[in-house]
Structure 1
Amino acid sequence: MRLPTVLAKSRPRENLTSHLAATLAGAMDLCRRVGRIAPTESVTGDRFWPAVCLAALCHDAGKTVDGFQAMLRGRIRSWGERHEVVSLGFLPGLITDEKLLLWVAAGVATHHRSLDGDRRSLMAMYGGADETEWRQRLEPLPAEVADELSAWLSATAAQANLPIVVSPESRHDVLAEALRVFDLLIDKWEFRVERDEGLTAVLLQGAVTLSDHLSSAHGVLHMRQPLDEDFRSLLVRTFAAKGRIIRPHQDAAGAVDGHLILRAPTGSGKTEAGLLWAATQVSAVATKTGGVPRVFLTLPYLASINAMAERLGRLLGDDTLIGVAHSRAASYHLSKAICPDDDDGQAEAATKAVSRAHATRLFRETVRVGTPYQILRGVLAGPAHSSILIDSANSVFILDELHAYDPRRLGYILAAARLWERLGGRIAVLSATLPDALANLFTDTLDQPVHTVEADTTGARLRHRLGLRNRHLTDPASITEMKERLARGESVLVIANNVADAQHLFAELSPQVEHRFLLHSRFRRMDRAKIERLINDHFGVDGSRQAGLLVATQVVEVSLDVDFDCLFTSAAPLEALIQRFGRVNRIGARPAADVLVHTPRYAPRRRGGEDYADGVYPQLPVQTGASVLSRHDGEAIDEAHATAWLDEVYGTAWGLAWREDVLKHRQTFDEAFLRFAHPYAGRSDLTERFDELFDGTEAILVQDRDAYIKALDQGGDDKAAGQLLGERYLLPLPYWSTPLTTWEKRLGVRIVEADYDKTLGLGEIRGPAAHVYQAGEVL
């Protein structure tokens, strides 16, 4: 027998049949976890999961060709052909149902590359090839090995109770059959298909790709959802230990069966209400689909995501159940590790952090905390992103604090929410600041009823006293007032709209304060992680209130469990201001605390156009919100009125234009990303558009170049660990800022020449296009 010597991989060396068996096992686990998916059943009947499992079993069968084996054994550098097309030839010996055959073939052929649409596609490589060319490029395929593998595939599929026929004794021509099936695939997917068929196609691709990745990484999917029917009892016990009870709005949220809108003030236990709702939905979805629903909790800012992940880990008693799903997840895990000064200790910590981040990328955990945009990447489909889509099927989504004032991103998220619903999902929007205009958009977007729960704030202590200041936050008189509060020994929060103002204020205020912190988005990863930990330790709700200063930008608005005596802030959209207010007198244990709102500067951005508040927020919603607040200057304000105030803002002509803008972007995203009319076509153009919208870029400082190289080497043979240690030096920049950097090909990183301080963050840039940098435009 030659089959046991056939390899699937060379590093580490792995036998082909072992890899195929592990991939089948991964597919069967995925089937058990995801369960029945309604759109796929309408298209394939009961064929979807059998097709996934058969494709997983056969996906790498084509690696039996001599050319691929020679490459794995180092006899040639590159084979230059694709094993997937050879794998197709093994399918007709197993499958006689032509519809099932085509679905299995689609999963096999597209688990690495698109079928059509770009120069790397299978169609570009093999389209129009006749049998002579086909054989010249793909032969030889040893007949003995092909026969042994065919028999093994048949026996393994039969043992797994998959719908196959027993292979006949007569030998079939694998390469001839591969060409025939490949031509059938091209004919099948050449033209546009209906929405559900296209969606089924990318879900199939995602399931096969994920199963392959699980097998290659020797990963195992978690099959337990900690947010289940026992979660309420856990929460009751946790609350009792702190002298608290479950509040009526939390109970009401937990009683909802279906989509939810929850309005509740910051500090009222909104997160726990959302988790109680999620636990109810998990039970309902599991009963309906037979799967183990995943729970996604999304937040808009990195700092709030990291804080929420730690908070959930403490609540559930095991942070290994929580996946952190954002672009810097490995850096987050490294920042939590105790990282000694010695190089070996740092390398070991980095290896563990990489392993944990890889587990999340393999969708191992059943609870994920991240940004909405990480889940949205699934719409890019293709081998790289379709796994995200299959993982989101039959899942539960908690969208915490959607930002209504960004109509494009909001429109895209709403379009995605409609897709998640089609995939069997349940969705909740939690907010202290949800205008009816946004609630109505959410309700109109979804087909199933949306239930609304509002916290009863009757008799609640008024937490904040509003004060308006007709001067800028950086005005000398404003700074004097801040210094007076600091001199009294108060904990003072100052929130600027842009980085430049935050840095200026910190420089003015910090000399007289012992405990002082600055937080914004332009720090190196390792510096920001340290600052966030120190802020939570000093100002956290669970600790004793301490004097000190935090100057920050918008990054503190959501989900940080911090508590201050007073707030000085620049005016912003009303919902952002209410979020900022929520960082002061957080649990209402004290008399109303001062929240002081300052007039921003209104001016066009560098390229002209409409005026923006401090270079960040459009003028009209900021001014309208300020006008609403002006009626309450000097008063202790009731947060129960926040919705009415927001409705006034969104009821203006600006609000009507905002609604039309959101609807336009919802439709644009649906048409560009969610139709899947050509599901196996390359989507590189869409990927670039997506990254421009949601992703920034990163660079290292010129002065960190040597340290970055040393960090890369520190990982030794573990290149990923070395890369992670190097990533500590990365500095986030907006996507448009790439002209400010130079690309160093050897290191694979952008380099920026700029002033930098680990306390202050990014300073003046002196790069090749420094004249385009304007700090006020950077969030």
Structure 2
Amino acid sequence: MTATLGRMLAKSSPKELLTGHLAATLAGAGALEERVGRIAVAEQVTGAIFWTAVRLAALCHDAGKVPDGFQAMLAGRIRSWGERHEVVSLGFLPRLIAEGPLLTWVATGVVTHHRSFEGGRGPLTPFYAVPVEEWRERLHPIPPEAVAELTTWLAGTAASAGLPVLPASSGAGDLVEASWQVFHHLLDTWELPVDPDTGLTAVLLQGAVTLADHVSSAHGRLDTRQPLGAGFRSLLEKKFTDQGRALYPHQARAAEVDGHLLLRAPTGSGKTESGLLWAASQVVTTAGRVGGVPRVFFTLPYLASINAMAGRLGRLLGDESAVGVMHSRAGSYHLSTAICPQDGDEAEATAARKAASRAAATRLFQETLRVGTPYQILRGALAGPAHAGILVDAANSVFVLDELHAYDPRRLGYILATARLWERLGGRIAVLSATLPDALTALFRDTLHGDVQLVEADTTDSRRRHRLRLRDRHLTDPATIEEIGRSLDAGRAVLVVANNVADAQHLYAELTQGSGREPEDAYLLHSRFRRMDRAALEQAITERFGVDRPRRGGLVVATQVVEVSLDVDFDVLFTSAAPLEALLQRFGRVNRIAARPPADVIVHPAAFAPRKGGGPEHADGVYLGAPVEITWRILGRHEGADVDEGEARTWLDEVYDSTWGHDWYAEVTRSRVTFEDAFLRFAHPFVARDDLAQLFDKLFDGTEAVLEQDRDAYQAALRQVDGSAAAGRLLAERYLVPMPHWTTPLTTWEKRIGARIVNADYDERLGLGQVHGPAAQRYEAGEVL
């Protein structure tokens, strides 16, 4: 390497030579190709050149950092160069690649690895759709010796990697004019709408280049082993044998399915293991079909259930580091598993550094087995430099969707649309549920083109776990509180599930304050706690009421967060009426493994009224009224009977075979089409989707805020870890309180600490109370979960 090229930097902190970064990004692209394998839709569009284009684009993506202005910025001599290096990188390509499709695809990957053509932050088109003379004036000076030396190095490196390139030239020719010509060729290429396959291939290319770049910049790696593969069934069978049991018939059938799976199995019947056995089989067949190392995504609807599943899988596989946790609070999860309340500042700092590193690795798609929410994977639909990597990582992957909430038609429609995209990308999809209505099986079969097999657990000889009881008064009625108190005084483990936070807080206060009962025997769990308080509550509840723990009396009052999260077992349930799926999940927290005679599950009628903004009636301000009313009528026919879980599925089909159910089906279908049209056709793959991103955040994400009284502690935590802002922020995030997206106007953004501040009442045992905001935007706990 010459002295000139040897001084060229790609990054300044830490310093990294340009050639070193380009070589590492090429290696990252090669590793990504090895892991993902052949992508059928991309091959149909580009022939056999897709991964060749990715690797060449990765090699050349930052070549445009040679101008004096960029190097001066890295050296700290100027604050900002003000130009985009990726447009300069285009000028190197005609020196290396003959004119034709390969040049077009490589150039596309190079120029879009940071910015969109139109829209978003700093779009390229309005800035560079100018005459070549203006380019020359803005981009110069560019040292010619550096251009010549880098051209020779790129050609030699590409040839050594087996990539098709022209012989190295002397670097003659006008780099700026070549850049300008290629850029305008790309504008012409992508100006008009393209067909869905071409648009999807373009986004996959962008995702592959940006992902290789990010992995290289972070000095990361991509795991090349799938722990959930050919040896998993033998591992599981051995564990079962050691425990004196064998696979259930439905588990064995799931393992033998080749294609998509719908599994209907009650809680406690090994549903999770069934899904894992199926996934392991799909990993083997997919790898044989396309090569690579298929990724497995296991999704659940709630953070607590995700965290518990991650730990469970890690223990099952004997390697917790093999499981990635894929949700917005993954760093907090890793921190909570590595830190103890009595740890000092130094131990906390060390744990935070490790937790931040683990979370960053998952964001860079390191692990091949990941647990998260469906919505983290759905974000791939936003495409662009920030999200396209999600799509290429999803290609040829295996998706296990556990306990989808069918009664939310809009989100379900979006998941169905994305499942169809995953199938186009070579994926296999399984849906696992204890409450899988026939209407949902029909929707999946209508959505997916491949074979969809239904496997059901045989519940004929299953022991009855629950006895259904109905009351004619609301859950918060004084007579109900008195009845719950009698169960507690009898030493029973009691679960109370309210439909909203306000009711849960009221019940907890009534059952503990002035009751003479020990407060340490009672817990309140909902979604409006500080992260650290929520984690401590979940751990304490699991320790006291876990399935494998000794029987102890006590109380948990919760909202729907308990439905598919903690692996707990209670003696009796008091619950508000809700959609039938939600109720069956709540029932499943009682007499969980049928170790006792049927236990009482006592359902109370909900209060129906329109929400504050008007519209149809909702049960306790949360659930649409119609399905709750239908459910109540069905339950009324079975009051006092032991619940047959096989028969309960027919109850569910009755709910969906109603006027409301038919409307629900139509709305799911409309939502699927809407999401597909808005997000998944990629007619303009390089136009930013900021407006869609905002809609997505409103649908799937809330906001978080720091309590006014925690501001100083939050700020101190940010500075607690020397040399790692990410670790400090992770420690600070323990103080964040989740809030609904619409409550953002109740908070103030404090730029200095990068967080929202909320003035609100808060209690470690009760959670978020009254928010002291504008009257027009006042938060009421009963309106949201």
TM-score by length of 1: 0.99
| TM superposition shift of 1:118 | 4.5
The RMSD of aligned alpha carbons is: 1.1
Does residue 681 (structure 1) correspond to residue 687 (structure 2)? The answer is: yes
Q: Specify the alignment match of 2:146 in structure 1.
A: 145
Q: 1:244: how far off?
A: 2.2
1:160-217, CA deviations, whole angstroms, 9 ceiling, x for partnerless residues? 1112122234623221111111011001000000000000000000000000000010
Contact 1:116 1:680 in 2 (8 A): yes
Q: Deviations over 1:131-157 (max 9, x none)?
A: 210111111111111111111111111
Partner of 2:233: 232
Secondary structure class of the residue paired with 1:700: strand
**How do 1:419-458 residues align onto structure 2 when only pairs under 5 Å count?**
419-458=421-460
- Letter aligned with residue 370 of structure 2: R
How much does 1:26 deviate?
A: 0.6
Q: CA deviation at 1:218?
A: 0.5
Mean CA deviation greater in 374-383 or 636-645 = 636-645
Q: Shift in Å at residue 258 of structure 1?
A: 0.2
**Alignment correspondent of 2:579:** 573
Measure the CA separation in 1 of the matches of 2:55 and 2:171. Answer: 25
CA contact (8 A) 2:152 2:169 kept: no
Q: Is the 8 A contact 1:253 1:276 kept in 2?
A: yes
Question: Are positions 1:168 and 2:154 aligned together?
Answer: no
Tell me which of 352, 359, 377 is aligned to 2:354.
352
- Aligned equivalents of 1:138 and 1:115: distance in 2? 19
Letter of the aligned partner of 2:148 in structure 1? D
Cα offsets for 1:745-766 (capped at 9, x unmatched) = 2222111111101111001111
Structure 2 residue identity aligned to 1:192: P
Aligned amino acid, residue 60 of structure 1: D
What is aligned with 1:509? Answer: 511
Residue in 1 aligned with 2:313?
312
Matches for 1:701-712 after TM superposition, within 5 Å: 701-712=707-718
Q: Is the 8 A contact 1:739 1:769 kept in 2?
A: no
What amino acid sits opposite 2:146 in the alignment? Answer: V
Aligned letter for 1:682? A
For 1:380 and 1:224, how far apart are their aligned partners in 2? Answer: 28
Among the aligned pairs, what percent are the same residue?
Answer: 66
1:211 aligns with 212
CA drift of 1:342 comes to 2.5
- What is the Cα deviation at residue 715 of structure 1? 2.0
Name the counterpart of 1:408: 410
2: CA distance, partners of 1:654 / 1:636:
27
CA distance in 2, matches of 1:351, 1:58: 33
SS in 1 for 2:705: strand
C-alpha contact 2:302 2:565 (8 A) present in aligned 1:
no
Q: CA deviation at 1:346?
A: 1.4
User: Deviation of residue 417 (structure 1)?
Assistant: 0.4
Alpha carbons 1:740, 1:770 under 8 Å: kept: no
1:749-768 aligned within 5 A: 749-768=755-774
Residue 716 of structure 1 and its aligned partner are, at CA, apart by 2.4
Aligned mate of 1:101, from 87, 100, 103: 103
Q: Matches of 2:251 and 2:343 in 1, distance apart?
A: 45
Q: Which residue of 2 aligns with 1:289?
A: 290
Partner of 2:745: 739
In 1, distance between residues paired with 2:120 and 2:589? 50
Counterpart position of 1:592: 598
CA distance in 2 between counterparts of 1:417 and 1:769 reads: 42
Cα offset for 1:398? Answer: 0.4
Aligned residue number for residue 477 of structure 2? 475
The answer as to 2:131 corresponding to 1:130 is yes
Partner of 1:382 in structure 2? 384
How many angstroms apart in 2 are the aligned matches of 1:537 and 1:162? 57
Q: 1:229–1:164: structure 2 CA closer, same or farther, 3 Å change rule?
A: same
1:134 to 1:582, Cα distance in 2 relative to 1, 3 A? same
Query: Hey, what's the Cα distance between the residues in 1 that align with 2:394 and 2:556?
Result: 37
Indicate whether 1:550 and 2:556 are aligned. Answer: yes
The 3-state SS of whatever aligns with 2:16 is strand
Question: Alignment partner for residue 491 of structure 1, among 489, 493, 505?
Answer: 493
Preserved CA contact (<8 Å) 1:741 1:768: no
AA in 1 matched with 2:183: F
Cα distance, 1:768 vs. partner?
3.3
Q: Secondary structure, in 3 states, of the residue corresponding to 1:78?
A: coil
2:289 alignment partner AA: K
Q: How does 1:592-611 map to 2 (within 5 A)?
A: 592-611=598-617
Match of residue 16, structure 2, among 14, 17, 20: 14
Is the Cα–Cα contact under 8 Å of residues 151 and 171 in structure 2 kept in the other structure?
no
Question: Who is 1:36 aligned against?
Answer: 38
Corresponding residue number in structure 1 for 2:337: 336
Deviation readout 1:73-98 (Å, 9 max, x if unpaired): 00000000000000001111111151
CA–CA distance in 2 between the matches of 1:737 and 1:131? 49
Please give the alpha-carbon distance, in whole angstroms, between the structure 2 residues aligned to 1:771 and 1:35.
Answer: 51
Quote how far apart the aligned CAs of 1:771 are.
Answer: 5.4
State the match for 2:118 in structure 1: 116
Secondary structure of the residue aligned to 1:612 is strand
Equivalences for residues 72-91 of structure 1 within 5 A: 72-91=74-93
Structure 1 117/770 Cα, relative in aligned 2: closer, same or farther at 3 Å? closer
Asked if the contact 1:410–1:662 (Cα under 8 Å) also holds between the matched residues in 2, the reply is yes
Distance 2:347 2:11 in 1: 30
The whole-number CA distance in structure 2 between the counterparts of 1:361 and 1:52 is 20
Shift of the alpha carbon at 1:341?
Answer: 3.9
Deviation at 1:545, TM superposition (A): 2.3
Aligned match of 2:54 in 45, 52, 64?
A: 52
Q: 2:375 aligns with which of 373, 376, 391?
A: 373
Q: Give SS of 2:538's match.
A: helix
Rounded Cα–Cα distance in structure 2 between residues aligned with 1:118 and 1:708: 31
Per-residue CA deviation, residues 415-437 of structure 1 (Å, 9 max, x unaligned), is 00000000000000000111111
The one-letter code of the counterpart of 1:528 is: R
Partners of 1:61 and 1:330 lie apart in 2 by 34
Q: Deviations over 1:394-415 (max 9, x none)?
A: 0000000111111100000000
Tell me which moved more, 587-596 or 504-513: 504-513
Which SS does the other structure have where 1:687 is aligned?
helix
Task: Answer whether contact 1:118 1:124 (CA < 8 A) is retained.
Answer: no
The one-letter amino acid of 1:554's match is Q
Counterpart-to-counterpart distance in 1, 2:387 and 2:577: 39
Tell me the equivalent position of 2:463.
Answer: 461
Of the structure 1 ranges 76-85 and 472-481, higher mean CA displacement relative to structure 2 is found in 472-481
Q: What secondary structure is seen at the aligned counterpart in 2 of 1:183?
A: helix
Tell me the equivalent position of 1:690: 696
Q: Look up the SS of the partner of 1:92 in the other structure.
A: helix
Q: Distance in 1 between matches of 2:506 and 2:776?
A: 20
Secondary structure of the equivalent of 1:417? helix
Separation in structure 2 between the aligned mates of residue 63 and residue 676 of structure 1, nearest angstrom = 30
**In structure 2, C-alpha distance between the alignment counterparts of 1:622 and 1:337, rounded to whole Å:** 42
Aligned-partner residue type, residue 314 of structure 1? R
1:480 Cα deviation after fit: 1.2
> Does structure 2 conserve the Cα–Cα contact (< 8 Å) formed by 1:712 and 1:719?
yes
Alpha-carbon offset, residue 777 of structure 1: 1.0
Deviation, structure 1 residue 361: 0.1
* Amino acid across the alignment from 1:606: K
SS at 1:536's partner residue?
helix
Q: After alignment, is 72-81 or 719-728 more displaced?
A: 719-728
Q: Distance in 2 between matches of 1:145 and 1:97?
A: 24
Structure 2 contact 311–320 (Cα < 8 Å) conserved: yes
Q: Does the 8 A contact of 2:151 with 2:169 survive in 1? A: no
Aligned to 1:112, the other structure's residue is in SS state: coil
| 8 Å contact from structure 2 (residues 66, 147) kept in 1 | yes
Q: Which amino acid aligns with 2:160?
A: Q
Q: How many residues align?
A: 778
